[in-house]
Structure 1
């Protein structure tokens, strides 16, 4: 028996789906009920008389908003013996529609799963159904089912900000911090592969999860991404505070952080200026120390008050060291070229940059990078700073932006790239 007006039953599922927005807590844009389920009927697909009669009554009950009664008719249709695959498929569609309208989430989810797994369902339709299934389960606080559906959707369809957020929320609301981190890593990798910017709310949840797990490195790395992609003053403040409090930083890392704080207007103490300059001298870069001290004088942070005389004596000492280093620089360059170690090339090259021989200095530092430095990320960060100090901001931004791995050196590089980029656009 053929029932023409039941040959395209997807409208029933659509009718049931109209109530989803009231059930789900997370709105899903792009989920158009009118095209949720394309017809899968083939030329020889027909509904038998017994199945068709029950489904006609279910359709009428749905139209009258009697969803529970519609489910009874669907169950009666399902009880018919000897059903064809097509009939079973249509029954699953109607059950999904009726259960969704009735708010019977377990039955609706099971019906969705039947449709999702059926070979008649096209890939595009399966993705829409997974999105609807995730939304329905989330609204019913069945976070495990919602997370499973969202994860499957992302695997099939690729990055979706709404499904990514829903997946993270499923773990977040259960305080499953390890789950948030695991899902967050996968989401960030997918975003990077697709060339998409990570969503701010997703990064916020990830940062909270790392904080709850007492993972300071992960938290810092996430705040770096928040600063990079969603720059707000509170993210800078949180990040600088956490980095400043990190007692595991090496002296060179501390120096670089001091320079970053100076560049962002957060280093204002005369004592910190002197400490920063002392570190530069210890690194074999007295000219850089002198430049920083002169900046302190220009800002009227040095040279005033009771410490002015002591500060002047320290500056004279640094100036003398800078002169000595400049005089010995040609010999240091030759020694660096013949050395198998990276350090001499990096230091001598940086001093060339600081003394006006920028191109020669950068070339020597690049040679140093080929000599397998003990801390390659820190060496690249140092080269980025030399490019900045030598006036090659665009090259510095390009290098520093490329350092997007884990670790403090890469975090600092990303922050410098953000800071330099913000200055270059002013």
Structure 2
């Protein structure tokens, strides 16, 4: 699943190199904002004018995006002799904010650590400050200290998305994929048990960790969770790309089913794919479906153009011809369907011709006869027919999820259940 690893790295693991990263969330600019006019009475009364004035100027410069100039003003404030503890705290906080915005992460880390050591910050402020220190060390490539401060932030109650992102990044850098899997799995489980949708990043982390630990079953399970909670086109492409390689999967019997899922999820795009699906539908006795596929390909601008346009037209004409012949012989086919296997086949054809209710009834009769060659395949056809009817989605889902086996029927049914219910 190289695709999932790429998505994981791009969406979740890449820590922006911009020094402004997480500043507003962490509120490490609190000092500059306070000094710009929002300073609490207690702090304002504790600052002498010779300290307050350059810090005020530094705050204004920070808001104007002039971080290096702000650092110079902070130095003016720091040069004042005999600073009291509150003055030193404000200098450290302002210097840390200005340094981090200027890209001087070493100075930022030292300044914020000094502020943390003051003993004057509330627990919430400490959590924010610890998170900012962790980020500064990550920018300095000191992942050990970054991890320590990130954990400190968590112990103080920090739980921002940025902190989780940073922890995930640090775990990824460590290469301890068993630990990553354990942590991500716990986060996913906690969300689900709490009735919440798991974070997409946690699911991607878990999938990537399973990939690195060769846990194919776990990776498939996580991918299905991604389909359930975040049904994106690329996740469907990944799932459908993996399925034909699954041990025991019968590509011969379920090639058309795979193409149906690709079409339904927007992952059918090439002319050859449309042509293959239409031809397989005709061969399976579903000319209406074959015609529909050609029409969709033409509507998408994939078929009906270029040097193969004539071939596309011939296939469409063949589908139209077979559809007319099939409809004309339907009553005869229904009358001749005596055993369960034939009933399921003809019932499925009825559904494809638009006679959904009649087709469902015949499939159910075929299943009731038992002695089917492939009972799970029959349940798959019934589930798809019910889903196609749109009348009883709950029954359709229940039927699809009851399909078992290792040949591919259960996999196809489960994916259709996810697609049909969106969960």
> What TM-score does the superposition give when structure 2 sets the normalisation length?
0.50
